[in-house]
Amino acid sequence: MASITFDHVDKIFGDVHVLKDLNIDIPDQEFLVLVGPSGCGKSTALRCLAGLEEITGGQIMIGDRVVNNVAPKDRDIAMVFQSYALYPHMTVFDNMAFGLKLRKVPKPEIKRRVEEAAEMMAIGHLLDRKPRQLSGGQRQRVALGRAIVRDPAVFLMDEPLSNLDAKLRVQTRAEISKLHQRLKTTFIYVTHDQTEAMTMGSRIAVMRDGIMQQLDSPQTLYDHPVNKFVAGFIGSPS
C-alpha cells in the first residue's frame, strides 16, 4: 500500500515560507497531478516527500508510516526529473542497474529486471549506449526505465517532459499514462502546464504561493473552480 498524506506540512527556507499548511491525501494507485505557476512550491513538495528536504512542520505519511525521519532510500520512492540525471560515463544498462547493484540484487535478477523495464520503455536496443549518444526523448525514456527497475511503491515526476519538443511531449504523456495503468502504483506528476494536467490527472491539485487552492477531478475543477485563480489557471469560463 502506498497512499500518501501531507498532513499540515510547512516548509520554510530561511525567511521564505514555501509550503503553507499543505494537506493532501492521495489514495494508493492514484495518478495525481500537482500543478501551479513556477515558484509555487511544487518541486519542494515532491522533494519533501522523497526525503530530499526536511519539513519544518507537520508530517508526511506513506501508507500508514510517518516518514519524517525516514532516509530517502528507505521511502520506496523513485523520482524522475526534467534533467534526466543519468550518469554520463555509464551505459544505459548500467544506469538502469545501478540502484539494484547497490542493493546487492543478484546479477541474473538485475538483468531480468533491466530487460523488462527496457521493454516497457522500448529502449531495449539502446542498452549498450552512453547517455551522450541518445536523443533527449531517449534519455527521458532511460530515466523512466531506471525508475521502473527499482519497482517503487511511488513514482514522482517533476516536469519530466519540459525538455522535449511538443510532439514528443504528447507521445510521452500517453506512455506515462499507460505505464501507470500497467504498474498500478501511486504517481504524482508535477507540471506547470494546464493542458498536461487536465489530460493526465485523475485528480488535480492546484497550488499557488505554497497554498493548496483546490484538489478535484478535472471536470469538477472546470465546472466548479473555488476561486478566480483556479478558474483562470485551468481555463474555466466561470
**Residues engaged in binding ligand ADP (CB under 6 A):** 13, 16, 18, 36, 38-44
**Inter-residue contact 127 to 146 (CB < 8 Å):** no
CB of residue 78 to Mg ion, shortest distance in Å: 17
CB of residue 39 to ligand ADP, shortest distance in Å: 4
CB of residue 97 to ligand ADP, shortest distance in Å: 30
The residue among 47 and 150 lying less far from ligand ADP, judged by its C-beta, is 47
Which ranges of 12-122 would DSSP assign to H, the alpha helix? 42-50, 92-102, 107-120
Write the burial class of residue 44 (CB in 10 Å: 0-12 exposed, 13-18 middle, 19+ buried). buried
Does 214 contact Mg ion by CB under 5 A? no
Using CB distances below 5 to 8 A depending on partner kind, what does residue 44 bind out of Mg ion, ligand ADP, none?
Answer: ligand ADP
Q: Smallest Cα–Cα separation from 62: which of 204, 185, 212?
A: 185
The residue among 41 and 225 lying less far from ligand ADP, judged by its C-beta, is 41
C-alpha cell at 200: 493526465
**Inter-residue contact 193 to 234 (CB < 8 Å):** no
CB of residue 191 to ligand ADP, shortest distance in Å: 10
Site for Mg ion in 65-94 (CB under 5 A): none
The residue among 43 and 185 lying less far from Mg ion, judged by its C-beta, is 43
CA distances from 195 to 20, 36, 122, 170, 173 (A): 26, 12, 26, 10, 11
Does 95 contact Mg ion by CB under 5 A? no
C-alpha cell at 194: 494546464
Does 185 contact Mg ion by CB under 5 A? no
- Determine phi and psi for 58, rounding to 5 degrees: 85, -165
Does 43 contact Mg ion by CB under 5 A? yes
CA distances from 226 to 140, 175, 208, 215, 232 (A): 35, 31, 13, 10, 11
Q: Looking at 7-15, 41-49, 125-133, 165-173, which segment touches Mg ion (CB under 5 A)?
A: 41-49
CB of residue 40 to ligand ADP, shortest distance in Å: 4
The residue among 159 and 216 lying less far from ligand ADP, judged by its C-beta, is 159
C-alpha cell at 131: 547517455
Does 172 contact Mg ion by CB under 5 A? no
Q: Which amino acid is at 209?
A: D
Binding site for Mg ion (CB under 5 A): 43
